[in-house]
Amino acid sequence: MSRLGDLGARLYRGEVGVDFVGRRKTWYAVSILITIMAFAGLMTRGLHMGVEFEGGAVFTTPATNVSVEEAREVAEEASGAPALVQTLGDDGSMRIQVSGLDTDQSNVTREAIAEELGISTDSLNAEVIGPSWGNQIANKAWQGLGIFLVLVVIYLAIAFEWRMALAALIALIHDLTITVGVYALVGFEVTPGTVIGLLTILGYSLYDTVVVFDGLKEQTRHFTRQTRFTYAELANRSLNGTLVRSINTSVVALLPVAALLFIGGGLLGGGMLNDIALSLFVGLTAGAYSSIVIATPLVADFKMREAEVRAQDKRVLAKRAKRAESGDEDGPEAEEHASASEPADESVEPAGDDEPAAVGAPAPRGPRRQPAARSRGRGRPSGKRR
C-alpha cells in the first residue's frame, strides 16, 4: 500500500487526524479575510465585462505581420476606447474587441484599422453586438444561478437536513465570491465562457460537500446511543475519513483545468479558454477548501446549538471526567481501545452430570457426556427396549 493509501486508512480508522472542527474559528477567520480581499478587489478594480455584456464591436483580421501591441494602439486610436486584442492562431490573424461602439462608430473604426494594418476593408470582418443582448444574457445567468441554489437547498434538506443545506449554501456563496474577486484582481474579461465556468464549479463544489456530508450522516446516525464521542469529535472523525478522497478527486479535476489555463491559455493564446479555465481553476480550489474547512464545521456549529446534542455532549464529557478521576485512561480513543480489548464472556460446560466444573478449569476434551433425559422410556411397556 502506498504512503497516501496508508495515511487514508489511518485517517478513516481515527488513528491520526487533523482537528478541523476544533480549530473552526481559525478557518472562519481565514475565509473572512479572503472574502474581504475579494470584495475589496471588486470595489476598487471592478469586473472587466466583455462586449457580450456591454455591447461593442468585434473585428477579425486575416493573416498579418502586425504585432498585438501595434494592433491595440491602432484600434484604441481609431475608436477612442480601450481595446482587447487576442491572437487566433500561428498565421497572425487577430481578434480585436472594442466595447461601447454602435454601428456608425464601428464602420469608422473598421476603415481606420484596415488602413493602418494595410489590408482591405472587405477582408476585415466586423460584428456589432448591442448592449440589450448582453443584458438578456446576464439576466438569464442570474436566473439560472438562483434556480440552481434553490434546488440545491431543497435537495440537501430532503436528503440530509436543513442545517447541512444551509452550510452547503454558505460554502457555495463563499466559492462564488472568491472566484469573482480573483477575476476582478487579475483583470480577466468576463464573457459567457466565464458564466459557464461559474455554473460548472458550483456542481464540483457541491459534489465535494455531499461526499463529506454523507460520511458525517453515517458517523452521527446513532449519536445519542453512544457515550464515547461528542458531536464535534464525530464530525471531525468523519471529515478526516473522507479527507484523502476529497483531495484526490480535487487534484484529478484540477490537473486538466490547469493544463487549459497555463498551457492552452497562457502559451497558445487560447482566448476564451482563459475565461473558462480561470473560473474553473479558482472555483475548484475554493470548493475543495470550503467543503473541508467550512461546510462540516458549520454543520457542527449548528448542531451543537440543539438542546439534545448539548445534553448528549455533557453526558459524554461527564463520563470521560469520571473515568479520569478513577485513574482510567482518559480520552475517547482510550475508551474505544478498552472496550475493544475487553474479553468476551465464555460459558464453561459442566464436567459431569451432577458436578459443575471449577471456575477457571480447562474445558474437558473428548466427547461430552450428555445428561440422561428424564422422560426417556416414559410411556413404553416394560421389558425389551426398542
33-43 pLDDT tens trace: 999 998 888 88
Whether 359 maps to a domain, the answer reads no
DSSP E strand boundaries for 119-186: 125-129
**What pLDDT digit, counting tens, does each position of 344-359 carry?**
343 334 444 444 443 3
pLDDT at 20 over 80: yes
Give the confidence band of 297 by pLDDT, cuts at 50, 70, 90. Answer: very high
**DSSP letter for each residue of 289-328:** HHIIIIIHHHHHHHHTTSHHHHHHHHHHHHHHHHHHHTTP
Query: Any idea which of 7-11, 133-137, 244-248, 329-333 has the lowest mean pLDDT?
Result: 329-333
CA distance 339 to 227: 12
Q: Are residues 271 and 236 in the same domain?
A: yes
Please compute the mean of the pLDDT values over residues 293-305 and round it to a whole number: 91
247 close to 18: Cβ distance less than 8 angstroms: no
Among residues 144, 171, 150, which one has the least CA distance to residue 246? 171
Write down the pLDDT at residue 386.
44
CATH number of the domain where residue 92 is located: 3.30.70
Higher-pLDDT residue of 41, 4: 41
Whether 362 maps to a domain, the answer reads no
CA distance 106 to 98: 9
Pairing of β 48-49 and β 189-190 = parallel
pLDDT at 82 over 80: no
pLDDT at 30 over 80: yes
Write down the pLDDT at residue 164.
92
**What pLDDT digit, counting tens, does each position of 229-285 carry?**
899 999 988 888 888 888 888 888 888 888 877 776 555 555 567 778 888 888 888
Q: Is the dihedral of CA 51, 55, 60, 61 positive or negative?
A: negative
Q: Are residues 110 and 36 in the same domain?
A: no
3 state SS of 269: coil
pLDDT at 298 over 90: yes
pLDDT at 368 over 60: no
Q: Are residues 101 and 213 in the same domain?
A: no
Q: Are residues 69 and 185 in the same domain?
A: no
Whether 317 maps to a domain, the answer reads no
Report the Cα 135 to chain-centroid distance in Å.
Answer: 31
Among residues 224, 235, 237, which one has the least CA distance to residue 301? 235
Whether 31 maps to a domain, the answer reads yes
215 close to 239: Cβ distance less than 8 angstroms: yes
Write down the pLDDT at residue 19.
87
Domain boundary among 73, 100, 129: 129
Write down the pLDDT at residue 271.
57
Give the confidence band of 9 by pLDDT, cuts at 50, 70, 90. Answer: low
Q: Are residues 205 and 267 in the same domain?
A: yes
Write down the pLDDT at residue 371.
52
Write down the pLDDT at residue 360.
38
pLDDT at 339 over 50: no
Among residues 267, 114, 278, which one has the least CA distance to residue 193? 278
CA distance 191 to 134: 10
Q: Are residues 90 and 192 in the same domain?
A: no
Higher-pLDDT residue of 243, 10: 243
Q: What is the pTM of this model?
A: 0.70
Domain boundary among 281, 309, 337: 309
Q: Mapped to the 3 state alphabet, what secondary structure does 332-371 carry?
A: HHHHHHHHHHCCCCCCCCCCCCCCCCCCCCCCCCCCCCCC
**What pLDDT digit, counting tens, does each position of 41-60 carry?**
888 888 877 777 777 888 88
Q: Are residues 67 and 170 in the same domain?
A: no
Domain count, the chain: 2
The range of the structural domain enclosing residue 291 comes to 7-46+133-309
Higher-pLDDT residue of 68, 232: 232
Domain boundary among 65, 100, 129: 129
Higher-pLDDT residue of 6, 177: 177
pLDDT at 177 over 80: yes
Retrieve residue 334's grid coordinates.
482510550
Give the confidence band of 301 by pLDDT, cuts at 50, 70, 90. Answer: very high
Whether 365 maps to a domain, the answer reads no
Q: Are residues 70 and 144 in the same domain?
A: no
